[in-house]
Amino acid sequence: MDLEQRMRLVTRNAEEVVTPEEMRKLLETETKPRAYWGFECSGQ
Amino acid sequence: MNALDSERKRGRSPRIMHIGMGVVCGSKIKDMIKAGFEFIIFLADWHSWINNKLGGDMEKIRLCGEYFKECFTALRIKPDSVQYLWASDIAKNMEYWEKVVRIAKSVTLQRTWRALPIMGREMSMTDMETAWVYYPCMQSADIFHMNLDVACAGMDQRKAHMLARDAAEKLDWKKPACIHTHLLMGLQGPEKTERQFDENVDVNLQISSKMSKSIPKNCIFIHDTLEDIRTKIRAAYCPPREALRNPVLELAKYVVFAEKESLKIPRPSKYGGLESFESYEETEKAYVKGELHPLDLKDGVAEALIEILSPVREYFHKHPQTLRKMMEIEITR
């Protein structure tokens, strides 16, 4: 997958990307960057 | 699903996942995996305890985390394509707590306060727990301790991420990039509030209007039956020709087109017959022009949601144990 495709996938439907330049640079330099989503285990 | 039905009859809000968490977060996680990321789904048990979720009972909190794992598996995030990590796994480590203290020393109390989860910010000092101040510092330390490049969350968590980015600069640690996703609006439509969650007016309205499990009729749960989904969407706020702050169009954009290539409108032939939209932009354009009627949009979105959530129904039909235990939490409380 080329850089543009990866960038499109990562940013699609995102309300905010902080920052798009940093994200692009990361995708350019890392093939396997690390990301997370944290969830509170809650009922609401 | 008997437990769920009996909860409904009691009029209690079930403690189950809604479509915002399941599909808006879930499909972004799938995007990130496809784009080559090593992805961690972090189950924040300690944070939930601090925030008094599920009565602050760690056993129930862990059960809820196990339930979330199953939900994501049901929503087709393959368990071997992500790493699940508990906050308690990293909290065992002394170096983690050193990071928490370093972050706490690098930011003012006022700044930490602003990054707190919503619940505490407007209470009086005498009703607040000191432990709450740990929360944003731990949230930042999590990012550094897991050596992350990118932190993902809903728009309501952006302040905690900004705090982490500032701390990174001060401490000369790797600064995380961030992806913040839209908070789905409740089906009732926009809800104004006097409360201030965010200085930005649009973000504030987004947070105050977000879909909440506490009002089941305004919320699509991932376990909703076909009839639930049709009834709720039929009753949803959907101003004609209005694209802004329209919860049904939001579902089309952030749920349907996140998971599918097209939106099919099952229109009776006397009103033009079946129609298919190939992108959200196309759908919105037709809606604003008045070429797509609110009722037809609702029917199309409801059927698409039913299809998207069908693997969840299948999964929990085959593996009902954890969901059943989650239901019992509410019953015995």
Instruction: Please write the tens of the pLDDT for every residue from B60-117.
Output: 999 999 999 999 999 999 999 999 999 999 999 999 999 999 999 999 998 998 888 6
Which pair of tokens denotes residue B26? 């879930």
Q: What range defines the domain where residue A12 resides?
A: 1-33
Nearest to B48 among A36, A37, A41 (CB): A41
What's the CA gap between B133 and B138, in Å, rounded? 9
Residues 6+ apart with CB under 8 A from B319: B70
**Which domains, from first to last, does chain B contain?**
2-186 (3.40.50.620), 224-317 (1.10.240.10)
Q: Which of B63, B178, B180 is the best residue to mutate to test the A interface, defined by the most A CB atoms within 10 Å of its own CB?
A: B178
Across the interface, whether the CB atoms of A36 and B258 are under 8 A apart is answered: no
Touching A: B residues 259-318, CB under 8 Å:
none
The verdict on residue A40 lying in a domain is: no
**pLDDT confidence tier of residue B161, bands split at 50, 70 and 90:** very high
B267 falls in which pLDDT band (50, 70, 90)?
A: confident
Among chain A, residues having any CB pair with chain B shorter than 8 Å are 1, 5-6, 9-19, 22-23, 26-27, 30-44
Kindly identify which residue of chain B lies nearest to residue A22, measuring between CA atoms.
B177
B15, exposed or middle or buried, with CB in 10 Å at 0-12, 13-18, 19+? buried
Task: Tell which B residues from 80 to 109 touch A, by Cβ distance under 8 Å.
Answer: none
Whole-angstrom distance, CA of residue B179 vs CA of residue B279 = 22
- In this prediction, residues B135-143 reach a mean pLDDT of 96
Q: Is the pLDDT of residue B332 over 60?
A: no
> Is A34 within 8 Å of A13 (Cβ atoms)?
no
Q: Which residues pair with A37 in a beta bridge?
A: B41, B152
Q: What average pLDDT score do residues B233-260 get?
A: 97
Locate the chain B residue with the closest alpha carbon to A42.
B53
Distances (CA, A) of B125 to A8, B128, B137: 45, 5, 19
Q: What is the ipTM of this complex?
A: 0.97
pLDDT at B210: 87
* Position B333 confidence tier, pLDDT thresholds 50, 70, 90: very low
Q: For residue A19, say if its preceding peptide bond is cis, omega within 30 degrees of 0.
A: yes
- Look at residue A28 and tell me if it is in a domain: yes
**Inter-residue contact B224 to B309 (CB < 8 Å):** yes
Q: Which residue of B has its CA nearest to A17?
A: B179
Q: Residue A41: inside a domain, yes or no?
A: no
* Cα B164 from Cα B136, distance rounded (Å): 9
Residue A16 covered by a domain: yes
In whole angstroms, give the CA distance from residue B44 to residue A37: 10
Averaged over B170-193, what is the pLDDT? 94
Please give the Cα distance from A34 to B176 (Å, whole number): 10
DSSP strands (E only) in B88-157? 150-154
Number of domains in chain A: 1
* Structural domain includes residue A14: yes
The half-sphere exposure of B125 on its side-chain side, counting CA atoms within 13 A, is 0
Res. B8: pLDDT tops 70: no
CA dihedral of residues B32, B34, B35, B37 (deg, nearest 10): 60
Give residue B262's pLDDT band: very low, low, confident or very high (50, 70, 90).
Answer: very high
Domain-embedded: residue A42: no
For residue A31, is pLDDT > 60?
Answer: yes
From CA B14, how far away is CA B154, in angstroms rounded?
Answer: 22
Would you tell me the crossing angle of helices B94-106 and B134-145 to the nearest 10 degrees? 120
Backbone conformation region of residue B215, classed left if phi is above 0, alpha if psi is from -120 to 50, else beta: beta
Q: What per-residue confidence (pLDDT) applies to B244?
A: 93
pLDDT surpasses 60 at B176 = yes
Residue A23 lies in a domain: yes
In 3-state terms, what secondary structure has residue B41? strand
Sign of CA dihedral B258, B305, B11, B63: negative
Q: How far is B154 from chain A (nearest CA, A)?
A: 9
Name the average pLDDT for chain B. 91
Q: Is the minimum CB–CB distance between B147 and chain A shorter than 8 Å?
A: yes
Q: Residue B217 — very low, low, confident or very high, per pLDDT cuts 50/70/90?
A: confident
Distances (CA, A) of B62 to B49, B68, B85, B188, B312: 10, 10, 12, 32, 21
Confidence at residue B119, expressed as pLDDT on a 0 to 100 scale = 55
Whether pLDDT at B1 is above 70: no
Task: For chain A, report the end-to-end CA distance as a whole number of angstroms.
Answer: 38
Element (H, E) at B59: helix B58-74
Portion of chain B with pLDDT greater than 70, in percent: 92
- Closest residue to B178, CB basis, from A1, A18, A27: A18
Q: What is the pLDDT of residue B281?
A: 97
CB atoms inside a 10 Å sphere around CB B193: 11
Helix axes B58-74, B294-318, angle to 10 degrees: 110
Strands B275-277 and B263-265: antiparallel
pLDDT of residue B299: 97
- Across the interface, whether the CB atoms of A41 and B53 are under 8 A apart is answered yes
Q: Is the pLDDT of residue B128 over 90?
A: no
Is B190 a residue whose pLDDT tops 50?
yes
Residue A43 lies inside a defined structural domain of this protein: no
The phi and psi torsions of A36 (rounded to 5 degrees) equal -145, 165
Angle between helices B294-318 and B226-234 (to 10 degrees): 150
